[in-house]
Amino acid sequence: MTTQEINNQIRSGKLDKETLLFVLKNIGAIECQSYAAINQEVKEAAKNVYQYVCCLLEMLPEQEAEIMRGLYKEKKTWSFICDTLYISKNTLARYKDKAIQRMLDIANGFERS
């Protein structure tokens, strides 16, 4: 999957879970690509994808945002995050799943209470 394809999904408001997880897992590489890509179109698409996902992260409730940044941007281990936030792995998994769903809802224009 290319950054241009991901960018097109974002622009169409049809970001799927598989794509979001791919972006989160590769957020560091996408950030590097936004600075270092030779092709200007690729560079711009990577920049848009990176900024968009960072904005989605910032729109999450504080604890969910902290968990997602820790897991994906800072590459911290589950154990480290559980110890830091004093939560169990099951609770971490629930927060992570809730955050991913919330990000998809925001990206695709749905709103849940």
Positive or negative CA dihedral for 68, 21, 16, 98? negative
In sequence order, which ranges of the chain are alpha helices (DSSP H)?
3-12, 17-25, 27-36, 40-58, 62-68, 78-85, 89-108
Collapsed DSSP state (helix, strand, coil) of residue 61? coil
Q: Which residue has the tokens 């972006």?
A: 23
What pLDDT does 113 receive?
A: 45
Question: Rounded to an integer, what is the distance from CA 110 to the centroid of its chain?
Answer: 17
Report the distance separating Cα 9 and Cα 93, nearest Å. Answer: 26
Tally of residues, the chain: 113
- Regions of the chain short of the pLDDT cut 70: 111-113
What pLDDT does 111 receive?
A: 55
Report the distance separating Cα 7 and Cα 89, nearest Å. Answer: 32
Are 19 and 9 spatial neighbours (Cβ–Cβ below 8 Å)?
yes
